[in-house]
Chain A
Amino acid sequence: MIGYVEPRPGIPPTPQHTLDLISEMKRQNVPLVLVEPYFDLKTPNSIGRATGAEVLVMPPSVGGVKEVTDYFKLFDYDINLLIGALKKVSTASH
């Protein structure tokens, strides 16, 4: 975890913050932007476009997705999402 898209939830990030985040992500080759389902995707998507990182929406709690009915399934589900997204990024970069 190297930084936040929206450091103060609900307040749009400043241009300088977004620029710093993009350059840091490029420098460290950060592959993923994680988003909770109830946040708007416009800003994360624009950062994804600028850095080539994959934007991944992950449910943070049980019931966020139909098949996630208990805590264990939540972790299985999220880990599978992460693996899928990382595979996608690594095949895209080769």
Chain B
Amino acid sequence: MDSATLAFLAAPFVASLILTGIHAYLGVHVIERGVIFVDLSLAQIAALGAAIAILLPMTGGDPHAPAVYWISLGFTFIGAAVFSTIRGHRARIPQEAIIGICYAVASAAAILAMSKATSESEHLKDMLVGNILAVSWDEVAKTAALYGAIGIFHYIFRKKFLAISLDHEGAVAQGLSVRFWDFLFYASFGFVVTSSVAIAGVLLVFCYLIVPSVAAMLYADTVGRRLAIGWTMGTIVSAIGVYLSLVLDLPTGATIVCTFGIVLAVMAAVRPLIRRTSESGINRLPMRESPVQ
């Protein structure tokens, strides 16, 4: 690899590390809550917000007007409010059903809004498509600052967020205002997902969110260990994926996604061998035991 290649791939690789950092953490929450497709749904709701913003006279049809960003963010918060109320009813309706409905309706409503837009609406469909190779250092810096702030926010209130994700009934019994904290969770999550999707596209963001966390659950139970495994796996897969896309001459984002799939399959295949050789520890722990109790 010569220096021009390294310089070209440096920003995408650093971006993929930032994505790993925040998404592997949020993924633990998303899997514990059983809201696997919430990222797609919130990203689509944000895109709907942008589509509607372009129709408003204040933006003059310019998709890059600041108002478009704020209205899109406002829609994300509405989505967060909806998702924070759909739990705790003890209803027979699964949360994933509501998340799926929000995704479908937001996608369709965005098409309706775009059909009424006079110009530039073609760019809206690109909101959910990203090319991680095209990321600039400027975007990397902004994203790092934003995710850093959200990471600190989650670290400060980690006990509350984890208590609700891992043991919902227990959190209610403790008298936590679950809806309020759920709203904060989904709002900060929506913030992150919307920026990530613009950089890397929905497929890659979904993988960074879900795969490291699932892979970690194969080998560990406590949140700390799962995070350590998730972050390690995300970093290694990013490096392998970027490298393979270069040497095999393949599109980078899709290569990273497929690398995630292969590494997860290998980790799952190797697990029984490790269980057999280890006398104690991992194999005796039940998979879903909640560490906070």
User: A84 vs B215: C-alpha distance in the bound complex, in angstroms?
Assistant: 54
| Closest CB in chain B relative to A23 CB, distance in Å | 7
Are A45 and B251 touching (Cβ within 8 A)? no
| Residue A38 is within 8 A (CB to CB) of chain B in the complex | yes
A16 to B247 alpha-carbon distance, docked (Å): 8
Look across to chain B and name the residue whose beta carbon is closest to the beta carbon of A14.
B249
User: B8 near A15 (CB under 8 angstroms)?
Assistant: yes
| B122 with A38: CB separation less than 8 A | yes
Inter-subunit contact B134/A46 (CB<8 Å)? yes
Size of the chain A interface, CB-CB below 8 angstroms = 21
* Contact A40 B129, beta carbon cutoff 8 Å: yes
B251 in contact with A12 (CB, 8 Å): yes
B136 touches A (CB below 8 Å)? yes
Bitwise, B182-196 to A at CB < 8 A (1) or not (0) is 000000000000000
Give the contacts of B240-261 with A (CB-CB under 8 A).
242, 245-246, 249-254
A46, B4: Cβ atoms closer than 8 Å: no
Q: Mark B252-277, 1 if CB is under 8 A from A, else 0.
A: 11100000000000000000000000
The answer on a CB contact under 8 Å between A19 and B5 is: yes
Query: Is the CB–CB distance between A42 and B134 below 8 Å?
Result: yes
Task: Determine the distance from Cα of A60 to Cα of B129 in the docked complex, in whole angstroms.
Answer: 23
Instruction: List residues of chain B with CB within 8 A of the CB of A13.
Output: 131, 133, 251
Q: Whose C-beta in chain B lies nearest to the C-beta of A23? A: B4
A15 lies within 8 A of B134 (CB)? no
Contact assessment for B254 and A16 in the assembled complex, using a CB-CB cutoff below 8 Å: no
User: Which residues of chain B have C-beta atoms less than 8 A from A43's C-beta?
Assistant: 131, 133-134
Cβ contact within 8 Å between B252 and A14: yes
Q: Do B134 and A45 touch (CB < 8 A)?
A: yes
Q: Which residues in A have their C-beta under 8 angstroms from that of B250?
A: 14
Known: A19-B8, A22-B8, A50-B8. A14 touches B134 (CB 8 A): no
Min C-beta distance of A11 to chain B, whole Å: 6
Residues of the B chain whose Cβ atoms lie less than 8 Å from the Cβ of A49? 136
Q: Which 8 A-B pairs have the closest CB atoms?
A: A46-B134, A40-B126, A42-B134, A12-B251, A38-B122, A43-B134, A12-B131, A14-B249
